[in-house]
Structure 1
Amino acid sequence: MLTLHTAPLLRTGPDAPPTAGAAVAVRADRILAVGPLPELIEAYAGARVRRWPGTLGPGLVHDGPLPAADSPRERVHALLRQGATGVLAEHVADPALRAAVDRGDLRVLPAAVASELLPGGRADLAVFDAEGACLVTVVAGRIAHRRA
């Protein structure tokens, strides 16, 4: 399904300036386009529009040990609540933890790299409120965490 994700502000990268009135067009696990919401609505007529509060941007890469929890699944969910869509391979060497990360479809990276929202890139997004709390995490185009 084609979805337009939008928020009052959008950052295409961690150091990119915020843009008002922009959106990200997503189909399956890929970003189709990033641009002004009115243009994307016109280009992708019939797309579902998800309007989020806060600032929309790329998902984070968690570069330390995963948070402690009772199970590997809960440790992965703790990352999703932080807006992380990727982890470093060195921190998921345990087979049970790696399996939970793989089931969650998080990217496993050899080194920390800044993510960007680019056409053709994987649809890993996160929305943060003004205080920096994660409201929504989208992993490979699907909503994996949504704060109530």
Structure 2
Amino acid sequence: MLTLHTADLLLPGGDGAPVPGGAVLVDGAVIGAVGPYDELAAAHPTARTRRWPGLLTRALLNPYGPELLEQAYHPDPREADDFAHGTDPVTGPDLERLALDDTRWGAGARRGLQRMLAHGTVAVGFPPEGPVRPSVREALRRSGLVTGTRAAVPPGVPALDPYASGAPVTHLHHLVPRNHARFAVFDVRDEAELAARGAGTCVATVLDGRLVFRRR
């Protein structure tokens, strides 16, 4: 089924100009077309339409895979009262006191990956050998998120929101026909507001054509 994702402003990246009222046509796992919504809707009258507020643009890479998934635990909301910072990642001495087994590591990693998707992230950076913990490797495989290779520990502070880390923010995959259908929508007016308010403004994330996060 063809799906049109449209928002107030489309930023395709690369040499593509901003498109007010723009849209991305998703055909399976790839992008079929990009342009003004009215033109794409007229050309593809059977396509389903998903309308979003704000800015539709390229999805994000979070470079802190080991730090956020193998050196931090993401509590279940039912555990939130057990931790000083609720469901924020648990690290350092607090993490050591938990003495997690592999099953809990995997569960925490799955929640961490879901929270990355909720920040418009579709790729996670790891060293070339990938995740060390088997449960984290399996959680990443099942999530569908892309594993990006990093050469060194990136600067900044590990954070679920790439804009909050202080490191340069990496966007993936220009939104052009035949590229992977990987993008996100943020409830902001433009790139400047996205940088100021961060990826917590994400309202939708699409990974290989699938809507993997939608703000309720």
Give me the TM-score of the superposition, normalised by structure 2.
Answer: 0.62
**Shift of residue 25, structure 1, vs aligned partner:** 0.4
Indicate the residue corresponding to 1:97 in structure 2: 136
**Shift of residue 93, structure 1, vs aligned partner:** 3.6
For the aligned residues, what is the CA RMSD? Answer: 2.2
What are the within-5 Å matches in structure 2 for residues 68-83 of structure 1? 68-70=73-75, 71-83=108-120
- Take 2:112 and 2:17, find their aligned partners in 1: how far apart are those partners? 32
SS at match of 1:40: helix
**Shift of residue 80, structure 1, vs aligned partner:** 0.6
SS at match of 2:211: strand
Indicate the residue corresponding to 2:206 in structure 1: 138
**Shift of residue 114, structure 1, vs aligned partner:** 3.6
Match of 1:66, as an amino acid?
L
Residues 101, 49 of structure 1: CA spacing in aligned structure 2 closer, same or farther, 3 A cutoff? same
Indicate the residue corresponding to 1:129 in structure 2: 187
Indicate the residue corresponding to 1:147 in structure 2: 215
Residues 128, 31 of structure 1: CA spacing in aligned structure 2 closer, same or farther, 3 A cutoff? same
What are the within-5 Å matches in structure 2 for residues 37-48 of structure 1? 37-48=37-48
Report the count of equivalent residues.
Answer: 148
Between structures 1 and 2, the one with greater strand share: 1
- Which stretches in structure 2 are left out of the alignment for 5+ residues? 76-107, 151-168, 189-196
Indicate the residue corresponding to 1:108 in structure 2: 147
SS at match of 2:32: strand
SS at match of 2:68: coil
Q: Which moved more, 1:15-24 or 1:33-42?
A: 15-24
Of residues 56, 66, 69, the one that matches 2:68 is: 66
Residues 14, 114 of structure 1: CA spacing in aligned structure 2 closer, same or farther, 3 A cutoff? farther
Structure 1 residue runs of 4+, over 3 Å off? Answer: 14-18, 111-114
Indicate the residue corresponding to 1:30 in structure 2: 30
Conserved in 1, the CA contact under 8 Å of 2:63 and 2:126? no
Conserved in 1, the CA contact under 8 Å of 2:3 and 2:26? yes
Conserved in 1, the CA contact under 8 Å of 2:2 and 2:28? yes
Who wins on radius of gyration, i.e. which is larger?
2
Residues 3, 106 of structure 1: CA spacing in aligned structure 2 closer, same or farther, 3 A cutoff? same
Residues 79, 46 of structure 1: CA spacing in aligned structure 2 closer, same or farther, 3 A cutoff? same
Between structures 1 and 2, the one with greater helix share: 2
Conserved in 2, the CA contact under 8 Å of 1:127 and 1:136? yes
Conserved in 2, the CA contact under 8 Å of 1:66 and 1:76? no
Indicate the residue corresponding to 2:51 in structure 1: 51
Residues 35, 93 of structure 1: CA spacing in aligned structure 2 closer, same or farther, 3 A cutoff? farther
